[in-house]
Amino acid sequence: MGSQGRAAAPLAWEQSAYANRSKITRVGPLHADHADHAEAGETPEGRPTSSATLPSLVVQMLRHGRLHDGMDILDVGTGSGYSTALLAHRFGSSRVTSVDVDPYLTGAAAERLGRMGLHPAIATVDATGPLPGRFDRIVSMVSVNPLPASWLAALRTGGRLVTVISRTSMIVTAWKTEDGGAVGTTARDWAGFMDARHGPDYPPGAVSRFVDRIGQDGEEVGTGRYPVLDVDEAWEVRSMLELRAPGTECAYREDGDGRRTAWLVHPDGSWARATGSKGEPPAVHQSGPRRLWDVLERIRNRLNTRGGLPVYGVPLTITPDGVIHLSRGQWKATIA
């Protein structure tokens, strides 16, 4: 809702602003603020690129940070400025720095916060690169993969970082160690955030790049063991898929007659398409260097036979260059 919407419906604006739900504020390069970017009735196309995050999720992430008075705190992903406002109000503006890649967002947030008497440091930088300062806590409201080495460089020894791994619901919490790395766990909790951007929009994804291929017959055609799944909505399965086939994108469609189709597409050109009705084994087409649906079915089989997947509450270590090593018993995985 832009500035004209706020003036015409102040109560609706107030209810929306304070509702416990996420609000998309930017799609592609187009901001939601009518006064500056969007025309009335305009329907933007593309991926959401910024949002006012679900307030309870913001608080959840801040709690994982184990924040205390006297700490220097970095808020990654300024967005609307909501999390920055909470931090500056509670710990003081002088203790808070917030970064975002979008100069419009950082400028608008600084103006809003200034009107409330809050003046934290707000910088326009690519958060995956060098950071402006040294910190006791880093809490990220965007997801990353891999973990930027610059975060460890900017974190003081004994400091704590909290972030979500891209294309997963895994919250990494870790304490920096004297060797420049970190040690911690994935939280027994879950969250989802937009990926960190490096510019005004996300580059084209694998699904869009290979859209002409993924509707064709596959090099290998067979019948799946499990019914078609909307993988992005099965958070535990989606997280494990990222660990086993990093970078895989998912798409899903359900037709009016209940027929379901799911796609898995990898940047290396591998793809899988499964189609079937609810509860029935699907027809599966696969092509490319790896068989993505086979990877997914092994994950689902582990889930069904063991009752869970090792994605939450997993011990981890992080090397100074940001490589995350996960380990539980004989199971191991690396995020690099």
Which among 199, 227, 252 is the end of a domain? 199
> Among residues 290, 294, 293, 288, which one has the least CA distance to residue 210?
288
Beta strands 121-124; 96-100: pairing state: parallel
Where in the sequence is the domain holding 219, given as residue range(s)? 206-306
Kindly state the DSSP code that residue 325 receives in the 8-state scheme: E
Please check whether residue 2 lies inside any domain of the structure: no
- Give the integer Cα–Cα distance in Å for 108 and 37: 13
Q: Which amino acid is at 1?
A: M
The Cα 323–Cα 243 span in angstroms is: 13
65 and 194 in a common domain: yes
103 lies in the same domain as 232: no
pLDDT given at position 274: 98
What's the full length of the chain, in residues?
Answer: 336
Of 199, 214, 248, which marks where a domain is finished?
A: 199
CB 33 within 8 A of CB 2: yes
Same domain, 66 and 170: yes
Contacts of residue 270, Cβ cutoff 8 Å, sequence gap at least 6? 245, 264, 286, 287, 288, 289, 290, 291, 292
Instruction: State which amino acid sits at residue 328.
Output: R
**Whether residue 193 sits in one domain with residue 62:** yes
The reply to whether 34 falls in a domain is: no
Among 145, 172, 199, the domain boundary falls at 199
Structure tokens at 8: 């015409």
CB 61 within 8 A of CB 43: no
Q: Answer yes or no: pTM beyond 0.75.
A: yes
Residue 245 counted as domain residue = yes
Structure tokens belonging to residue 148: 């930027």
Question: For residue 66, what are its two tokens?
Answer: 């184990």
* Predicted pLDDT of residue 1: 45
Q: Which amino acid is at 160?
A: R
The answer as to whether 108 is a domain residue is yes
CA dist., res. 314 & res. 212, Å (int): 39
Shared domain for 266 and 136, answered yes or no, is no
Contact 312, 186 (CB under 8 A): yes
**How many distinct structural domains can be found in the chain?**
2
Is 190 inside any structural domain? yes
Residues 195 and 236 in one domain: no
Question: Which pLDDT does position 41 carry in this prediction?
Answer: 60
**Same domain, residue pair 81 and 191:** yes
Lookup: tokens for 291: 């068989």
Residue 202 pairs with which residues in a beta bridge? none
CATH code of 261's domain: 3.30.160
- Quote the DSSP letter at residue 43: -
Cβ atoms 196, 147 nearer than 8 A: no
Q: What phi and psi, each to the nearest 5 degrees, are found at residue 154?
A: -85, -10
pLDDT at 285: 98
Q: Does 191 share its domain with 222? A: no
Distance separating alpha carbons of residues 321 and 163, to the nearest angstrom: 16
Assign residue 154 the CATH number of its domain.
3.40.50.150
Contact criterion met (CB below 8 Å) for 262 and 277: no
Reading the chain (336 residues) residue by residue, the pLDDT tens digits are: 455 556 667 888 677 777 777 667 767 677 766 444 555 566 666 677 666 778 899 999 999 999 999 999 999 999 989 999 999 999 999 999 999 999 999 999 999 999 999 999 999 999 999 999 999 999 999 999 999 999 999 999 999 999 999 999 999 999 999 999 999 999 999 999 999 999 888 888 999 999 999 999 999 999 999 999 999 999 999 999 999 999 999 999 999 899 999 999 999 999 999 999 988 999 999 999 999 999 999 999 999 999 999 999 999 999 999 999 999 999 999 999
- Structural domain includes residue 116: yes
Amino acid identity, position 3? S
With b for 16 or more beta-carbon neighbours within 10 A and e for fewer, the 99-124 pattern comes to bbbbebbbebbbeebeeeebebbbbb
The H or E element spanning position 62 is helix 55-64
The answer to whether the CB of 236 falls within 8 A of the CB of 169 is: yes
163 and 274 within one domain: no
Identify the residue whose tokens are 């766990």.
Answer: 185
Is residue 18 assigned to a domain?
Answer: no
- The answer on 77 and 165 residing in a single domain is yes
Find the distance separating the first CA and the last CA of the chain, reported in whole Å. Answer: 39
In a domain, 283, yes or no: yes
Residues 170 and 215 in one domain: no
CA–CA distance, 316 with 187 (Å, rounded to integer):
11
275 and 224 within one domain? yes
Helix (H, G, I), strand (E, B) or coil at 105: helix
